[in-house]
Every structure is written in structure tokens, then in C-alpha cells.
């Protein structure tokens, strides 16, 4: 599965990349939202994992733009900090499919990603 | 005194020499700073690799966590600055990771004996180093140091005690609030919010101690205990909360009113109405807001009386509460003798609009 991971925290990005590659996925990473939108158009990922707070374009804007840009339904998992319940609700309304609250276990993420494999 | 050409020459040479020395120092310090920044960037790459490996490290069964550390890394670990960079990265990462991955970060911290650096800071005289050390211990789950942190929960420096108190709650959950038995310094409003947020991330347990804190000599502890009672609906403490309505500190009394708004029973409106007359306006408004919540028929005559207050805010709050007391209360508002005049007309319109939302 082609997965795009967007998070401005480099170490977080490396950790997710390492785990997902270990699970056999092809992983693309980006540290800012604007670049994430470019990558979505170029690589057409099967799944997007995005942090909500990112420079230039937020995770929320990414969720909002995905279907418009690609014309297809790409599942989105949000990474959010504790206490962002309202933002998570808004993200679901925009079309997000799942969310994981930080701090989270990479094993849990791995299981959640597997749910989107068809 | 006349200025001669020699004087001018001397001044020019002195000024130029001063400028040259200044330029030299600036270039030198910039050079050192750039070197440090480049070195730090190189270190960050190395610490990230080490941390990523640690996150996914799987120790042999029944074996303690012991990651292989190469020679180059061991050499770097001898540098104080490198160790601090690694600790900083471990702290940031531990905020994002839970489960085995989070535990592994703490194991790496222990394996590399990094707590020695943290403890050095904990015993440092400057408050910000102490506060940073407390954060590091809490983020990396160093529970064995909680007795040392307990001593800091009543430190004279506000930032140190706030960090120590938050960390103690992180370590021990609700039981960690035991520091409330001993603190003599006040808990700021901001810190109370932080503690409640911290507790909201932890499963609710026995809530032992709140009754003692409601009788504390430290008024901010009583206020916090009242907030806890309201948040966790501690109905068994009802009588003790009612006693707080007579507390000499006005802030305690106000918090008690707000608390009773959350955990009221049949007699609560009577308790609130009995203190109303002797309280300042802020407290009176809080009482009216609580009575609105309770919407008890017994409070209707009292609320009707408040409609004749000279203060418009009190009038509005009383009318709101009355409107919530069923048909009888609504009728009392709408049939007010001045219902068609200002400000009554506006007040009634406002309440009707709120009720229809």
C-alpha cells in the first residue's frame, strides 16, 4: 500500500516511516502541508496519515482538498494531540476516516493501517 | 583647551582600534556559534537514528533492555552537550509515543545513565534548570525519583513547585494529589486548570482526600477541592461543600456556589437563598445562575423578589432563573408590571430567544 505520512516533527516522521516500511508499505514522507498536497497529486497514495498542526497547510486543509484534487476517495488517518476533541470532530465532518491521539503506540497505528488494506 | 591635529589623529586611531577589536570578537563569536549549530545539526541526525532504533528495539525474552551502542556513539556520549541534546529529543519524542515504544525511550535513557545529567540539574541552584529536570524525569517515567519531586511540590519558586506537582500527578494519578495535604503556597488558577487537565487523562479512581482538602488551611486547596468535587460529582461530600458557603474567604464561597450548581439536591436552593443577601454582586449572580440550573418551584417567590432589584444584571439573571422554573415561573416573568417597558421588554425578548435555542 502506498502511504503518505505528513508530520512536521522529523523524529515522528522517521518513526512512522520505519514502522510502516517494516510492515511492507511504500512510504512517502513530508514535513509540511503544502508539500503534502503536491505529493498527493503526484503519487496518488492509497492512505494518508497526517498531523493536524503543520506549517503552510494544516492537516484539516489536506483532508478538505483530497477528494477535490484526486477525484477519488483516499482514506485519511489524523494524528492529533490530547484535548483536540473538537478539532477531531471537525476533521471527521470533513471526511477523515480515523484518528490517533498522541501519545500513541506505533503498534496501534500499524493495526489501524491494516484496516484500510483491501 | 584647543584641539590639535595630534589629538584628532589619536582619537581616530583609538576609534579604529576599538572597531577592529569589536569586529574581531563578533566574527569570532559568530564562527563559534555557526560551528556549534552545524555540530548540533549533525548530532540531531545521530540522536534521531539512535532513538528510532530504540523505539523498535526488541529485547530478548526475560532479558533487560540493552541496546548495542557503537564506538562512535559511546565517544559522543562523553560530551555533556550531546547528552543534553539526546535528552531533549527523548523528552519531545516521549510526548508523542505510548506503549512499548514509549517505554523503550525510558529504557534507553536509563541504559545510557542520562538521569545523572538530569539529577545534576535537579540539584542546581537556578530555578529553570530544576524545572527542566523535573520535566525530564516526568516525561521519561522516572517514578523512582518521585520522593525527591515530592519535596519540591512546596518549593518557594512557583515554577518549580508547579512542575513538581504536575509530575507527581503524572506519576501517581489521583493519589499524586497527596501533596495538597502539605502545601503552604497557593495554587494559581492556571495551575489548577493544568492539574485538572492532567487528571482528565487518567482513569478516575477512589478520590480519597478531597474531604480533608475541603478543610485545608490553604484556601486555594479548598477551591481546588471544590473544583474536583464538581468535576467528579462527589455527592458524598455535599454537607462539607455546603459548609464552605460560610467560609470567610469570598473566593472559596464563590467556588462553593459553583460547585453546588453541579451537585445539588432538594435543599440546595434553600442554602443558596439563605446566603444571597449578604453576598457581593458576583456571588449573587452565581447563586441566580445555580438556581436557574436547579429550576425548583420553591425558589419562585425568592426569584420574583429579585426582579425588583435596581441592578439590570441581577434582574436579567433572576428572570432567566424564573423562566426555567416551569409555567409558573414563565408567567411571573411575562406578567411583570413593567413587561412592556424598557429594560423589561428587552430582558423578556432576550430570555425567550435563549429558551428557543
Give pLDDT tens digits for B215-233: 999 999 999 999 999 998 8
pTM score, whole prediction: 0.79
Length of chain B: 357
Of A2-6, B81-85, B86-90, B293-297, give the lowest mean pLDDT range: B293-297
Yes or no, beta carbons of A103 and B96 under 8 Å apart? yes
Question: What's the pLDDT at A83?
Answer: 63
Structure-block grid coordinates of residue A44: 496518488
The neighbour count for residue B109, using CB atoms within 10 Å, is: 25
Of A8-22, B71-85, B97-111, B342-356, give the lowest mean pLDDT range: B342-356
- Has residue B282 been placed in a domain? yes
The neighbour count for residue B197, using CB atoms within 10 Å, is: 13
- Which among B58, B91, B113 is the end of a domain? B113
Task: Give chain A positions within 8 Å (CB) of B96.
Answer: 9, 12, 102-104
- Has residue B355 been placed in a domain? yes
pLDDT value at B16 more than 80: yes
Nearest-neighbour CA in chain B from A69: distance (Å): 30
Of the candidates A10, A12, A107, the beta carbon closest to that of B99 is on A107
User: Which residues of chain A carry a pLDDT beneath 70?
Assistant: 82-84, 118
Taking the CA of residue A53 as centre, how many other CA atoms within 13 Å lie in the half-sphere pointing to its CB?
Answer: 8
Query: Residue B294 sits in which domain range?
Result: 270-357
The whole-angstrom separation of Cα A87 and Cα A2 is: 26
What are the Cα distances from residue B167, in Å, to B113, B177, B222?
21, 10, 21
Helix (H, G, I), strand (E, B) or coil at A50: strand
Question: What's the pLDDT at B348?
Answer: 86
Yes or no, beta carbons of A15 and B93 under 8 Å apart? yes
- DSSP track, B117-176: HHHHHHT-SSHHHHHHHHHHHHHTT-GGGHHHHHHHTT-SSHHHHHHHHHHHHHHHGGGG
Q: Which helix (H) or strand (E) holds A49?
A: strand A47-51
- Has residue B283 been placed in a domain? yes
Question: What's the pLDDT at B130?
Answer: 95
Domain boundaries, chain A: 2-114
- Has residue B178 been placed in a domain? no
- Which among B113, B132, B166 is the end of a domain? B113
Which residues is A26 bridged to in the sheet? A2
- Has residue B3 been placed in a domain? no
Cα angle value A88/A92/A98 (rounded, 5°): 80
- Has residue B280 been placed in a domain? yes
pLDDT, tens digit, 9 for 90 and up, residues B109-157? 999 999 999 999 999 999 999 999 999 999 999 999 999 999 999 999 9
Annotate B213-274 with three-state secondary structure.
HCCCCCHHHHHHHHHHHHHCCCHHHHHHHHHHHHCCCHHHHHHHHHHHHHCCCCCHHHHHHH
The neighbour count for residue B250, using CB atoms within 10 Å, is: 12
Structural domain tally of chain B? 2
Helix (H, G, I), strand (E, B) or coil at A110: helix
Question: What's the pLDDT at A68?
Answer: 77
pLDDT, tens digit, 9 for 90 and up, residues B28-66? 999 999 998 999 899 999 999 999 999 988 878 778 888
Q: Which CATH superfamily is domain A2-114 in?
A: Response regulator (3.40.50.2300)
Residues from B contacting A (CB-CB < 8 Å) are 48, 51-52, 55-56, 89, 92-102, 197, 201
Question: What's the pLDDT at A90?
Answer: 83
**Nearest residue to A100 via CA among B42, B258, B206, B96:** B96
Nearest-neighbour CA in chain B from A68: distance (Å): 31
Contact in structure between B228 and B260 (CB atoms under 8 Å): no
The whole-angstrom separation of Cα B245 and Cα B271 is: 8
Q: How confident is the model at residue B208 (pLDDT cuts 50, 70, 90)?
A: confident
Structure-block grid coordinates of residue B112: 545510557
By C-alpha distance, the chain B residue nearest A19 is B56
Residues 6+ apart with CB under 8 A from B311: B281
Question: What's the pLDDT at A84?
Answer: 67
Of A92-106, B4-18, B77-91, give the lowest mean pLDDT range: A92-106
- Which among B63, B97, B113 is the end of a domain? B113
Question: What's the pLDDT at A67?
Answer: 74
Question: What's the pLDDT at B186?
Answer: 95
Q: Which helix (H) or strand (E) holds B10?
A: helix B5-55
Q: Of all residues in chain B, what percent carry a pLDDT higher than 70? A: 100
Cα angle value B259/B260/B261 (rounded, 5°): 90
Q: Of all residues in chain B, what percent carry a pLDDT higher than 90? A: 68
Task: Give chain A positions within 8 Å (CB) of B100.
Answer: 105, 107
Average pLDDT, chain B: 91
- Has residue B336 been placed in a domain? yes
Amino acid at each position: 500500500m502506498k502511504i503518505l505520512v505528513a508530520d512536521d516533527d522529523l523524529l515522528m516522521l522517521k518513526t512512522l516511516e520505519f514502522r510502516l516500511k517494516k510492515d511492507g508499505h511504500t512510504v512517502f514522507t513530508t514535513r509540511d502541508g503544502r508539500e503534502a498536497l503536491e505529493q498527493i497529486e503526484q503519487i496518488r497514495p492509497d492512505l494518508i496519515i497526517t498531523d493536524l498542526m503543520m506549517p503552510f497547510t494544516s492537516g484539516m486543509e489536506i483532508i478538505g482538498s483530497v477528494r477535490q484534487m484526486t477525484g477519488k476517495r483516499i482514506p485519511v488517518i489524523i494524528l492529533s494531540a490530547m484535548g483536540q476533541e473538537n478539532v477531531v470532530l471537525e476533521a471527521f465532518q470533513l471526511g477523515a476516516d480515523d484518528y490517533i491521539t498522541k501519545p500513541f503506540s506505533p503498534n496501534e497505528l500499524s493495526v489501524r493501517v491494516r484496516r484500510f488494506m483491501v | 583647551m584647543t584641539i590639535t591635529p595630534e589629538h584628532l589623529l589619536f582619537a581616530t586611531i583609538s576609534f579604529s582600534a576599538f572597531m577592529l577589536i569589536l569586529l574581531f570578537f563578533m566574527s569570532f563569536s559568530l564562527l563559534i556559534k555557526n560551528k556549534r549549530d552545524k555540530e548540533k545539526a549533525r548530532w540531531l541526525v545521530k540522536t534521531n537514528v539512535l532513538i528510532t532504533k530504540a523505539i523498535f528495539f526488541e529485547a530478548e525474552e526475560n532479558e533487560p533492555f540493552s541496546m548495542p551502542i557503537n564506538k562512535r556513539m559511546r565517544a559522543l556520549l562523553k560530551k555533556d552537550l550531546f547528552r543534553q541534546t539526546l535528552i531533549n529529543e527523548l523528552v519531545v519524542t516521549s510526548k508523542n509515543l505510548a506503549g512499548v515504544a514509549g517505554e523503550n525511550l525510558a529504557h534507553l535513557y536509563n541504559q545510557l545513565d542520562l538521569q545523572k545529567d538530569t539529577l545534576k540539574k535537579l540539584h542546581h541552584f537556578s530555578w529553570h534548570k530544576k524545572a527542566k529536570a523535573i520535566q525530564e524525569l516526568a516525561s521519561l517515567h522516572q517514578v523512582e525519583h518521585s520522593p525527591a519531586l515530592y519535596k519540591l511540590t512546596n518549593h518557594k519558586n512557583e515554577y518549580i513547585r508547579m512542575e513538581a506537582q504536575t509530575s507527581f500527578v503524572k506519576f501517581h494519578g489521583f493519589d499524586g494529589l497527596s501533596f495538597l495535604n502539605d502545601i503552604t503556597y497557593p495554587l494559581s488558577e492556571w495551575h489548577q486548570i493544568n492539574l485538572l487537565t492532567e487528571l482528565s487523562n487518567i482513569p478516575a479512581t477512589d478520590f480519597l482526600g478531597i474531604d480533608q482538602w475541603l478543610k485545608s488551611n490553604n484556601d486555594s486547596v479548598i477551591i481546588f477541592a471544590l473544583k474536583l468535587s464538581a468535576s467528579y460529582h462527589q455527592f458524598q461530600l455535599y454537607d462539607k461543600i455546603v459548609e464552605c458557603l460560610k467560609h470567610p474567604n469570598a473566593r472559596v464561597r464563590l467556588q462553593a456556589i459553583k460547585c453546588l450548581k453541579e451537585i445539588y439536591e432538594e435543599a440546595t436552593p434553600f442554602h443558596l437563598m439563605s446566603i444571597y443577601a449578604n453576598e457581593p454582586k458576583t456571588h449573587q449572580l452565581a447563586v441566580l445562575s445555580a438556581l436557574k440550573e436547579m429550576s425548583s418551584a420553591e425558589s419562585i417567590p425568592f426569584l420574583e423578589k429579585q426582579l425588583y432589584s435596581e441592578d439590570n444584571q441581577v434582574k436579567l439573571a433572576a428572570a432567566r432563573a424564573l423562566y426555567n422554573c416551569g409555567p409558573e415561573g414563565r408567567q411571573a416573568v411575562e406578567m411583570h408590571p413593567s413587561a412592556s417597558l424598557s429594560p423589561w421588554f428587552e430582558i423578556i425578548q432576550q430570555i425567550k430567544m435563549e429558551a428557543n435555542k
